[in-house]
Amino acid sequence: MSSSYIVDCRMMLRPSDINLGDSHVMAIINLTPDSFYGASRHLSADDACDAVERVVREGATIVDLGGYSSRPGAADVPLEEEWRRVHVGLEAVRKVECGVVVSIDTFRAEVVQRAYDEFGEFIVNDISAGEADDRMVATVARLQLPYVAMHMRGTPETMQSMTDYDEGVVVGVCHYLEHRAKELQSAGIAPKNIILDPGFGFAKSVEQNFELMRGIDALRALGYPLLIGVSRKSMIYKPLAITPEEALPGSLALAWEALRGGDAILRVHDVAATRQIVELSKHYYR
């Protein structure tokens, strides 16, 4: 397996091996049966291995493993089932044996602890910013792991009924993330380990998602690396009256916009195409 983007072929890179403030392509590896985009589902161990090998070859520097679907209306998944799924993904990364940083998409401290005990360092990608599990922030601080704090209201089951922002969505999201970042630091998470995610599609209407994208400079001004996840989401396919399977061009257009004037971690389904966007943006915005 070879790629011009891969320079280290150890089993799993530590997050400290890369600069999280640079632009990165984070590949979505869903280990769930109900993620909104069918092609991102990888349920078997062999399928997960094939997926990891492919996205690394295509230029991903981070793989995001998820065992709990956060699509609107998603049902709860028991802890043991989520861990079983995440463990399949971690074993796949270890088996592929090519240098990539692992991210785990979870809001449960127990999943973080188990993964750390068996596999070592990784990025914690928490859609609840530590509010769904009161042990999460303390666990991340103790383990000194990089932490993605995302803006969301409610739960995946209820979030789309919670889209009223008195001060406007950009101000509301910025205020929340700025306040939450300070709380995370007070709890012992180092500033260098904090990554902010505005939560496109989470408790936001289609129009609010575009307003938030237009306000990306205000998010950058908070001073933390940004994770942007818009790939094939409803803010693309609903206005165009298409399906997620047809939403690649729109996803790439918004990926370019997300990189306007600065770096970002792009969480995507389509690694090779997004890698081209990242490389071109370095020439355009330098």
Q: Is the pLDDT assigned to residue 9 strictly greater than 50?
A: no
- Domain assignment of residue 8, yes or no: no
How many Å apart are CA 162 and CA 155, to the nearest integer? 10
DSSP secondary structure, 52-87, as one string: HHHHHHTT-SEEEEESS--STTPPP--HHHHHHHHH
Taking only the tens place, the pLDDT of each residue in 43-93 is 678 888 889 999 999 999 999 999 997 766 666 789 999 999 999 999 999
- Domain assignment of residue 111, yes or no: yes
Tokens at residue 67, please? Answer: 């065992």
Taking only the tens place, the pLDDT of each residue in 132-182 is 999 999 999 999 999 999 999 877 777 877 889 999 999 999 999 999 999
Taking only the tens place, the pLDDT of each residue in 92-120 is 998 886 789 999 999 999 999 999 999 99
Percent of all residues in the chain with a pLDDT value above 90, rounded to a whole number: 76
Q: Is the pLDDT assigned to residue 16 strictly greater than 50?
A: yes
Q: Under a CB-based contact definition with an 8 Å cutoff, are residues 159 and 74 in contact?
A: no
Quote the mean pLDDT of the chain: 90
Q: Long-range contacts for 94-98 (Cβ within 8 Å, ≥24 apart)?
A: 94/11, 94/12, 94/119, 95/49, 96/1, 96/49, 96/52, 96/53, 96/56, 97/9, 97/10, 97/11, 98/1, 98/6, 98/9, 98/53, 98/56
149 vs 35: which has the higher pLDDT: 149
Q: Is the pLDDT assigned to residue 237 strictly greater than 80?
A: yes
- Domain assignment of residue 89, yes or no: yes
Taking only the tens place, the pLDDT of each residue in 248-286 is 999 999 999 999 989 999 999 999 999 999 999 999 876
Q: Under a CB-based contact definition with an 8 Å cutoff, are residues 100 and 94 in contact?
A: no
pLDDT band at 36 (very low <50, low <70, confident <90, very high): very low
- Domain assignment of residue 32, yes or no: yes
pLDDT band at 225 (very low <50, low <70, confident <90, very high): very high
Catalytic residues: 233, 267
178: domain range? Answer: 15-285
- Domain assignment of residue 240, yes or no: yes
pLDDT band at 32 (very low <50, low <70, confident <90, very high): confident
Mean pLDDT along residues 184-197: 98
pLDDT of residue 2: 35
pLDDT of residue 5: 38
> Residue 224's CB: how many other CB atoms inside 10 A?
21
7 vs 121: which has the higher pLDDT: 121
- Domain assignment of residue 5, yes or no: no
pLDDT of residue 3: 38
For the chain, the domain total comes to: 1
Residue 220 class from Cβ within 10 Å (0-12 exposed, 13-18 middle, 19+ buried)? middle
pLDDT of residue 74: 61
Percent of all residues in the chain with a pLDDT value above 70, rounded to a whole number: 90
- Domain assignment of residue 2, yes or no: no
How many Å apart are CA 233 and CA 240, to the nearest integer? 12
- Domain assignment of residue 34, yes or no: yes
Q: What CATH number is given to the structural domain containing 66?
A: 3.20.20.20
pLDDT of residue 114: 97
Q: Is the pLDDT assigned to residue 42 strictly greater than 70?
A: no
pLDDT of residue 34: 53
**Nearest to 137, CA basis, from 122, 126, 151:** 126
pLDDT band at 39 (very low <50, low <70, confident <90, very high): low
